[in-house]
Structure 1
Amino acid sequence: MRPRRNPIPDLQTMNKPISRLDLQSSKLGRQAALATWKAALPQYEISLGTDLDDFWMDLSAWLLRKVVFTHGQTSPTRLERHADRLSDGYDNFIFVHFMKGRWQGEADGKPFTLNEGEVILLDGSRPFHGLATASSYAMVNVPRAVLIELAPSLPLLHGRVLHSASGWLLADHLAALSRALPLMHQGEAERMANATLTLMAACVGNLTDKAQGDMGSLIPAVRLRVERHVERNLTSPDLTPQTLCRDLQIPRSTLYRAFSAFGGISAYIQSRRLDAARAILFHPEDRRSVEEISRHLGFGNATSFARSFQRRFGCTPREARQNGSTFVASSQVLFERWQSVLRANA
């Protein structure tokens, strides 16, 4: 007879402090703080909206199991996610709440303006750029799989400012969380993280297909339809540009235009399959061979799969499995990369 599992949580674990990082220009110096910030966020291009002599920053980040929460204050700054960096596998949604200041930019070529007190939602797998005034903000990195699990039918999210009652509620919640997190222990913080994710899912659930039309273009809606179809059919050997046009009744020219920022639709399909392969390799209980994973995800053979994987992630599939992670694989890995960069530059 098997022993019964103890339902009582590990109180020592639940009451330990939250993993936290701090980056302050007043302690590191302006130049070192800026260099550290750039090194910790290689998926972005960061530049100053002012001279280095006027640059200042004070950032704190917390790891809350599934997400990374950041609260910061910075001088004017430009943040860009270039199309040529999309192949790095960074696949997070980013909720940004400006408590003070203003942010203006473009997401997928569409302008956005984020005013004080508002929340914007950005898709890290797509290009964007923005120039912020001196600001105070809260930012939450949410892995795509985490948000999709809570909101399976995601509407078009990239560059959306959450102008709704639930959006204002989320803004107030993120501002309050930035004040309360320094006082929380791990168990309490993780419960609040789950509540935050539930609130986020409620917010995006209010974005209807009709509202998507406000983006002013057919292309984003086409891309969303295709992305959903690709995710449902990643393992199908028949997933090709031709079958997408046929099954979704999309003109070939429209399909290719919708995915031009990703190097074309074929490149997009391959990148999503490589992301899925990486997730399998990192799963502690999935021991399928590289050849089995290659067949499962529709690659021609294990050799071509390994070459494509190494071009995308800088290591072979076997090396990835042995190392167990890349910096974009999960919130924990992202946070650990930040830790290593901060230690190296302290």
Structure 2
Amino acid sequence: MEVVTLRATYSSAQTARDRTRSFWEEAVAAVYFPLELQFENGREFAGKLDTWSLGQVSVSRNVSDGLLYRRHARHLAAEREESFLITIPERNEIRFSQAGQEVRCRPGACLVERSHLPYEFSHRDPTSLWVLKIPNAQLKARVARPERLATLQFDVTGGVGALFVDMLRLSVERLDGRSEAAQSTAGWHLIDLLALTIGADDRVLGSQASSIRNAHLHRSEHFIRARLADARLSPQAVADHCGISLRYLHRLFEEEGTTVCDFIRTERLLACDAMLRDPLCRKSIAEIAYGMGFSDQAQFSRHYRARFGCTPREARAMSRFTVQ
């Protein structure tokens, strides 16, 4: 079993005082992406940035004096894949503005930021932050249309939100000695907990970024994800639970470029894929398929191959080969 530790530390104490600012700019660009920095306190600045790799996901802890970060349109020219930053302040308030929305996020909440739109992020006082950086493709596999969430805040003081933050901290504290596959699995588990945090937060429905239409769509998606294991799950059951007509439900999903049935099937396939690639999952392929609402294993295999380009058996074999 190959064991790797992918960690880096950047500290202002590592460099000469006259290079502190340029050093910090380079560190931020390496961990996140290029940004313009404006320092609050003259020439004096102290900061430490630790970062850990969990497969496609990265976790960082940023402790620094007051700063203003700007993401300009010129920074986006060379960027290919969008990422989302999930920022969790531990100490003092942070301010964030993007796409005409300005928010202030205090400890006890997490904030969603998009990399592919200009923004400003700042804190006047010294602060410490946890930041989870997730590529768009990975987040989209667990959260439908994540771009809707930019500038929204989610409570992490209790319930699944607190569990998400606890696991984030523990994932990096106990990183040493894990195989690369185990680290990647930990990254996926963090995304799963983040998705649950988002799905369980009813304040999303009342936020300025959510219209009545988006509220109905969010309720429908949340109801579907909570009942993937029910083979009887149907568009009519979703419409009845959400208090809307079946016709309106179909229109909601058609406007998203899909159908209710396709959305249900895709979510089931994603859930099955996560279990197949989890080296700790001991369920058979049939148990996974039936447990996620598929009534026919052969049909499940066809849909899985069409979605992921390999059979369920091949996906499981690749996962187990990686951890040997």
TM-score in terms of structure 1 length: 0.53
Match in the other structure for 1:27: 14
**Residue segments in structure 2 that go unaligned for 5+ positions in a row:** 218-253, 256-324
Check conservation: 1:72, 1:136, Cα contact below 8 A. yes
Deviations 1:3-60 (A, max 9, x none): xxxxxxxx1x1x2x3122111111213443431332351532222121222x101111
Q: Distance in 1 between matches of 2:91 and 2:169?
A: 11
Check conservation: 2:108, 2:155, Cα contact below 8 A. no
Question: Does residue 108 of the first structure (1) align with residue 99 of the second (2)?
Answer: yes
Match in the other structure for 1:215: 208
Match of 2:70 among 64, 80, 100: 80
Match of 2:114 among 101, 109, 123: 123
Check conservation: 2:52, 2:172, Cα contact below 8 A. no
Q: Distance in 1 between matches of 2:120 and 2:95?
A: 8
Question: Does residue 57 of the first structure (1) align with residue 47 of the second (2)?
Answer: yes
Question: CA distance change for structure 1 residues 160 and 56 in 2, over 3 Å: closer, same or farther?
Answer: same
Question: CA distance change for structure 1 residues 30 and 207 in 2, over 3 Å: closer, same or farther?
Answer: farther
Match in the other structure for 2:233: none
Question: Does residue 201 of the first structure (1) align with residue 192 of the second (2)?
Answer: no
Q: Distance in 2 between matches of 1:130 and 1:143?
A: 20
Q: Distance in 1 between matches of 2:39 and 2:139?
A: 31
> What is the SS of the residue equivalent to 1:35?
helix
Bigger relative contact order (CA 8 A; separation at least 6): 1
> What is the SS of the residue equivalent to 2:148?
coil
Match of 2:148 among 156, 161, 182: 156
Q: After TM superposition, which residue ranges in structure 1, 4 or more long, deviate above 6 angstroms?
A: none
Match of 2:59 among 59, 69, 72: 69
Question: CA distance change for structure 1 residues 45 and 199 in 2, over 3 Å: closer, same or farther?
Answer: same
TM-score in terms of structure 2 length: 0.56
Question: Does residue 141 of the first structure (1) align with residue 133 of the second (2)?
Answer: yes
Question: Once the 2 structures are TM-superposed, how far is the Cα of residue 122 of structure 1 from its aligned partner?
Answer: 0.8
Check conservation: 2:12, 2:24, Cα contact below 8 A. no
* Between 196-205 and 31-40, the greater mean CA deviation after superposition: 31-40
Match in the other structure for 2:268: none
Q: Any residues of structure 2 matched to 1:1-346 within 5 Å, and which?
A: 11=1, 13=2, 15=3, 17-40=4-27, 41=29, 43-53=34-44, 55-89=45-79, 91-132=82-123, 133-154=125-146, 156-163=148-155, 165-181=159-175, 186-206=180-200, 211-215=204-208
Check conservation: 2:85, 2:133, Cα contact below 8 A. yes
Question: Once the 2 structures are TM-superposed, how far is the Cα of residue 93 of structure 1 from its aligned partner?
Answer: 0.6
Question: Once the 2 structures are TM-superposed, how far is the Cα of residue 161 of structure 1 from its aligned partner?
Answer: 1.0
Q: Which amino acid aligns with 2:64?
A: T
Deviations 1:176-196 (A, max 9, x none): 445444675645433322211
Check conservation: 1:95, 1:121, Cα contact below 8 A. yes
Q: Distance in 1 between matches of 2:206 and 2:35?
A: 29
Question: Once the 2 structures are TM-superposed, how far is the Cα of residue 118 of structure 1 from its aligned partner?
Answer: 2.2
Deviations 1:103-158 (A, max 9, x none): 01312221211112321111111222121121111111100001111223547111
Question: CA distance change for structure 1 residues 52 and 92 in 2, over 3 Å: closer, same or farther?
Answer: same
Question: CA distance change for structure 1 residues 85 and 125 in 2, over 3 Å: closer, same or farther?
Answer: same
Check conservation: 2:84, 2:112, Cα contact below 8 A. yes
Q: Identity across aligned pairs (percent)?
A: 17
Question: CA distance change for structure 1 residues 216 and 121 in 2, over 3 Å: closer, same or farther?
Answer: closer
Check conservation: 2:15, 2:23, Cα contact below 8 A. no
**Residue segments in structure 1 that go unaligned for 5+ positions in a row:** 1-10, 225-246, 249-346
Question: Once the 2 structures are TM-superposed, how far is the Cα of residue 62 of structure 1 from its aligned partner?
Answer: 1.6
